[in-house]
Amino acid sequence: MAKKTKKEQSKKKEEICEVFEVEGKDGKEKIIRTCGKPMESKPTTKKQIDHHNRLLGNILLVLGVIIILFIGGYFAVDSIRHFEYEGVKFDVVKEGELVFYRTTIPAMYQGRKVDYNFFLRKDPRKLEDVPFEGEFDLPKNLVINLTEEFNCDGDGMIAIANLVKLYEFIRVPVLRDENASCSENKEYMFVRIQQGNSTEIKEIGPACYEINVANCEILEGTERFMVETFIDIQGKI
């Protein structure tokens, strides 16, 4: 018998064999032996390493873009819900189909300072479209002269009630007087709300203002005045 060479013996040793027991058609178990060579591992080339590095870099780049878009989207949504106008912070609040613009001011309640929420119906940023001619100073007293009721589908009642409530909470007494007029010596702030050709606010004397309302834009007029109040009272109360 011819002897196997060392090369053949080495080759045989490299083979991996497995033994299986299977049941034949006659019900008897048979032993099946299979042999094969293990897969040879080849050394990784520089080209393969460069390819893997480029693939990993592309994956990290895509993940980075996704993270940036996510963060950018979060801040974009947050900026829609929360914004600051002239130093006054507002939150956008939705109640069904209605949208409110909420700001918080400090107020005294039962002898202690608490935060009170005010809700505007109009976007404070868009109220810049309502001209305000003159300067604003926080008064010690407020007199409102209303020439008519301005029903305007209920907006008139809401507008006056919110304006009065604001000054009551900042401890400024409010008086409604149809016969009052501007006080030249600033005994009180005088606000006349009347019909006009355009919605605008004008200072007509020392701490005296006219809120002219056109096309039932009573909320635009009064809330523009309230926004000026919010700006002025920052840090004062």
Q: What pLDDT, in 10s, does the model give residues 2-19?
A: 444 544 444 445 566 666
Confidence at residue 187, expressed as pLDDT on a 0 to 100 scale: 87
Domain contains 23: no
Strand-pair category, 16-23 with 82-85: unpaired
| Interatomic CA distance for residues 214 and 90, integer angstroms | 27
Domain contains 187: yes
Strand-pair category, 29-36 with 16-23: antiparallel
Select the more confidently predicted residue: 146 or 47: 146
State how far Cα 192 lies from the chain centre.
Answer: 36
What is the arithmetic mean of pLDDT over 213-234? 94
Share of the chain above pLDDT 90, in %: 41
Confidence at residue 69, expressed as pLDDT on a 0 to 100 scale: 64
Domain contains 126: yes
What is the count of structural domains for the chain? Answer: 1
Domain contains 93: yes
Residue 165 CB contacts under 8 Å (≥ 6 apart), including other chains: 118
Confidence at residue 19, expressed as pLDDT on a 0 to 100 scale: 62
Select the more confidently predicted residue: 156 or 43: 156
Element (H, E) at 221: helix 218-232
| Interatomic CA distance for residues 202 and 212, integer angstroms | 8
Domain contains 6: no
Q: What pLDDT, in 10s, does the model give residues 147-194?
A: 888 889 999 999 999 999 999 888 889 988 888 899 888 889 999 999
Q: Look up the CATH number of the domain holding residue 220.
A: 3.30.379
Domain contains 208: yes
Confidence at residue 235, expressed as pLDDT on a 0 to 100 scale: 66
Domain contains 174: yes
pTM: 0.66
| Residue-wise DSSP of 120-146 | ESS-TTGGGGS-EES-----SSEEEEE
Domain contains 63: no
Structural domain harbouring 154: 83-232
